[in-house]
A and B are shown apart, each in its own frame.
Chain A
Amino acid sequence: MSTSPDPIIQIDNVFKNFGKIKALQGVSTTVTRGEVLVIIGPSGSGKSTLLRCINMLEHPDSGNIVVDGLSVMHKDTNINQVRAEVGIVFQQFNLFPHLSVLENIMLAQRIVRKRKPEEAKQVALQQLKYVGIPEKADAFPAQLSGGQQQRVAIARSLAMNPRIMLFDEPTSALDPEMIKEVLDVMVELAKGGMTMVVVSHEMGFVRAAADRILFMDQGRMIEEGSPDSFFNNPREERTQAFLSKIL
């Protein structure tokens, strides 16, 4: 709706090494409020590392990342405050196996957002309804299918009312017939105006929801653009080679 650029994530010349492996080599980009950015690239290209730098699961070696006005590199920034505003969904779901679905969604609301149990429960039930499995509230993670677990993980993040949602290959660990139920939720979320950064190769999602695509290789941004121009007229040779393999 708003055409004026309203940056919510500013990534500025970020470098990150794991020992000798150069994961990120000077990556810069800006995500505006409500934008859906999809990062693609071969494995080891640094796309997950970039995503994990946004909520400080990894610390950049140099450069800066500003999330909603707060620099994650600044010493005075309360990292937990940033993280509460940035939800992340992992490839391996990472639900808490000792807690029921409802308790999984309530835990952080109660101890981080300091919500009362009744309020946290209400929010949790509402989010479960949103992801389409309200009947699983009392189940335990081990009793759910992969797709259901991932939807609970999304509900768990959404219950914190984040301003940004990060998705780190959310469908890579799923059986093919369960991918769609997770993607449907993500598309719904994108249409609702959530700012999203998604690492995924699911072309179904890209076509339905992506505003911009960023292609990375060997820790560098190679190319970015709208899905249309990206798929139809890739400029770089490396991009063309990659696309010819995955499409």
Chain B
Amino acid sequence: MTAIPQKIGESRLLSATSKLEKWPWWILAIALAAVLIIFAIITSPFYQDAFNFIKEGVLTTIRVTIIAYGLSMVGGLILGLGRVSKNVVYYNLSTLYVEVVRGIPMLVIILYGAFVVVPLSLDLLNGLGAWLAGFAPLAGFGNALQSFNIQQVDMASRATAGLAMGYAAFEAEVFRAGIQSIEKGQMEAARSLGMTYFQAMQHVILPQALRRVLPPLGNDLIAMLKDSSLISVLAVRDITQLGKLYRARSFRSFEAYNTMAFLYLSMTLSLSMLVKFIERRMSREHQS
């Protein structure tokens, strides 16, 4: 009995020193850098100038990221269900898409989406419209489809479509892994109660799988925020494009790129903290 309090005291002493070792010093470094940049933005007219110019791109970056992420989730779920499907056509089409798209650089996928897939889809819509215009009750709708024009679709939307196309392949693999991580007995139990395959997916497998893949999905959101900088090659005025423009205008590379990096880092770090928070809450929920 007497040995126990002594032991607690010892471990406290140890943990006090090890706490100092485990302390996340890198956060301190980042915080310090952030304070320096913020200080520079407030005090230095050059930094102020760069910041005011580039900050206009923040909204574009966020908007493109959120829309492309939403689209890639929908596409990824459809493809992911195909990856675990027993239907030969569905499985092979999904796998083909995933393997092809994952093997091509994201920048190429964005260019391809913006300049090939989106115009081609519009051509198809026009063709469909011309066909529908022949039917009296659908003529109005057909004419509307026919009048769609590639000039009406701005570069930001085309770039967003490209980004979503690329990420759909990655999300598909996340969903596939999540679905396959659920024990086989769950599907068997659901089917043995008379549910169809899709009822079992919807009510039993996916709710569990989604909970498990939330952390990787969160990481992909962060990755997509970073990859959204690629759309600057299409002259979409996001953070990167405006930073490049500012540097070209002022030749102040330091100010331009420091501000860019600062803006991206503040967004990605807060997002990753959010993901960690959700992860911790979920694991606690799972234990109870």
Contact = CB atoms under 8 A, between A and B. Distances in A.
B191 A96 contact: no
B191 A90 contact: no
B193 interface: yes
Interface string A137-172: 000001100000000010011001000000000000
A98 B285 CA distance: 11
Interface residues of B, number: 19
Given A94-B186, A96-B186, A98-B208, A157 B194 contact: no
A198 B173 CA distance: 40
Interface stretch (B108-116, B199-207, B218-226, B247-255): B199-207
Contacts of A143: 288
Chain B, interface SS category: helix
Contacts of A98: 207-208, 211
B185 A90 contact: yes
Interface of A: 55, 57, 80-81, 83-84, 86-88, 90, 92, 94-98, 107-108, 111-113, 142-143, 153, 156-157, 160
Given A111-B199, A111-B203, A160 B191 contact: no
B30 interface: no
Given A97-B208, A98-B211, A107-B203, A83 B193 contact: yes
A57 B208 contact: no
Contacts of B186: 94, 96
Given A96-B204, A97-B208, A98-B208, A83 B191 contact: yes
B11 interface: no
Given A98-B211, A107-B203, A111-B199, A55 B185 contact: no
A55 B192 contact: yes
Contacts of B190: 96, 108
B31 interface: no
- Choose among A107, A143, A153 the residue with the greatest number of B CB atoms under 10 Å from its CB: A107
